[in-house]
Amino acid sequence: MTEPLRLGIAGLGTVGVGVVKIVRQQAALLELRTGRKIEISAVSARTKGRDRGVSLSGYAWEDDPVALATRDDVDVFVELIGGDVGPAKDATEAALKAGKDVITANKAMLAMHGQALAELAEEKGAVLRYEAAVAGGIPVIKTLMEGLAGNEITRVMGVMNGSCNYILTRMEDSGKTYQEIFAEADGLGYLEADPQLDVGGIDAAHKLAIISAIAFGTRVDFDGIQLEGIERVSIEDIRAAADMGYKIKLLGVTQMTGRGLEQRMQPCLVPETSPLAQLNGGTNMIVIEGNAVEQIVLRGPGAGEGPTASAVMADVCDIARGARGTVFGQPAKTLVASQAALSKSPAPYYLRMALVDKPGALAKIATVLGEAGVSIDRMRQYEHAEPSAPVLIVTHKTTQAALDQALAAMDGTGVMAGAPVALRIEEV
């Protein structure tokens, strides 16, 4: 274990540069902590000449990440290219086939091809690690896979996309619309090149799919996630939810139920007193529940150069110290195909609707809800100038099916002045 550990880093964006900086600036500390020198043999990126604010002299350059991944002087291939297919996947596969360990921050690749990559890695005796792929600087993979290894995990949930949380908290603070804040965030460079990855919940759902596999010993199943982004969250709903004591978050939840694996990524209301509600801006939070540990909450920066590089370096140090182990916490071939739950677990719901302003309108809605078996916990009708009356309802716990039935029946009452909004209230 006294040989240096030699890295090949592909992708020199924010995170790649952050990793190079740590390896250079913390060399002595890293050696003291791992018992080995950590070195960079070679790097690769799309553009060679660009000034990245850190010296790359002394590292070999490869234009082709596959060539980098298979170099004799690379022990660990660090994949920071991104994208679920293309060079990232090609190079990862090449490295694993060559029996080299791989560290990646690539949540899309793992969410789409995690099973095949895990089987390949384990067949070759290689390690595939990805702390940086989920929740940035928060060591959530390590906590799930190692720190809580003695637990049967019952539920994991959290806020896993900082950009969405930024947009929602900015809407709340400023009173501006989704469209206005989206434009602001985009202008500040807070969104992915394809913003749909963020606001559509896809990026967060990639992370949730990975978490599910570790938590429940199931094959990564991105398609099994019930997915909805934040595009339809309106400033009216943020205000109304606040009035009822809630905040709206893009919340990921994965839990094993008697009906199968329930994976959801959708805007939800959470009580304003819960830790999740108090999460502002780009911070992420993961709540893990296990049968022995009860509940652990982890909070930290979900992105950024330093935090993400910190997560990559955790994997580097683990490998330098000799850590091996499986990709998802148990042998890939033992992961079972998840049965996606056909229905969501019951929950209270928030309903916002505009009713035509005439006698008996509210009674009709209450009747329709009652007939569908949805009971009302709290209701509020607001003063209004418009011809329609804004009404908020918080239901008792109910099923999505009962709620859908009620929403469909509302349509026929003739008292709806617009489509109602329904959002799940998550009990945290």
Task: Summarize as ranges the residues that interact with a second copy (CB under 8 A).
Answer: 18, 22, 26, 29-30, 32-35, 131, 137-139, 142-143, 146-152, 217, 275, 278, 290-301, 304, 306-307, 309-314, 316-318, 321-326, 329-331, 334
**Residue nearer to a second copy on the CB measure, 24 or 380:** 24
| Neighbour-count burial of 313, counting CB atoms closer than 10 A to its CB (0-12 exposed, 13-18 middle, 19+ buried) | buried
Cα separation, 314 vs 26, whole angstroms: 13
What CA–CA distance (Å, rounded) separates 63 from 68? 8
Residue 283 beta carbon to a second copy: minimum distance, rounded to whole angstroms: 9
Query: Strands, DSSP E only, in 208-276?
Result: 225-227, 246-257, 260-271
Strand partners, 261: 256, 340
Report helix, strand or coil for 28. Answer: helix
CB of 122 to a second copy, least distance (A): 11
Q: How far is the CB of 114 from a second copy (least distance, A)?
A: 17
Q: Which is nearer to a second copy, 264 or 299 (CB)?
A: 299
Q: From the CB of 420, what's the least distance to a second copy, in Å? A: 34
Distance (Å, whole) CA 78 – CA 42: 10
Instruction: Kindly tell me which of 62 and 131 has the beta carbon lying closer to a second copy.
Output: 131
Nearest residue (CB) to a second copy, 216 versus 222 = 216
Shortest distance, CB of residue 321 to a second copy, whole angstroms? 5
The C-alpha atoms of residue 169 and residue 334 are separated, in whole angstroms, by 41
Measured CA distances, 94 to 48, 76, 88, 101 (Å): 22, 12, 10, 11
Catalytic residue among 89, 100, 107, 207: 207
3-state secondary structure 317-381: HHHHCCCCCCCCCCCHHHCECCCECCCCCCECEEEEEEEECCCCHHHHHHHHHHHCCCCEEEEEE
Q: Which is nearer to a second copy, 201 or 290 (CB)?
A: 290
- Least Å from the CB of residue 330 to a second copy: 4
Burial pattern 408-427, b for ≥16 Cβ within 10 A else e, equals ebbeebebbbeebbbbbbbe
Cα gap 106→109, rounded to integer Å: 6
* Nearer CB in complex with a second copy: 192/272: 272
**Active-site residue, 207 included:** yes
The candidate with the shortest Cα–Cα distance to 426, out of 344, 338, 369, 353, is: 344
Catalytic residues: 207
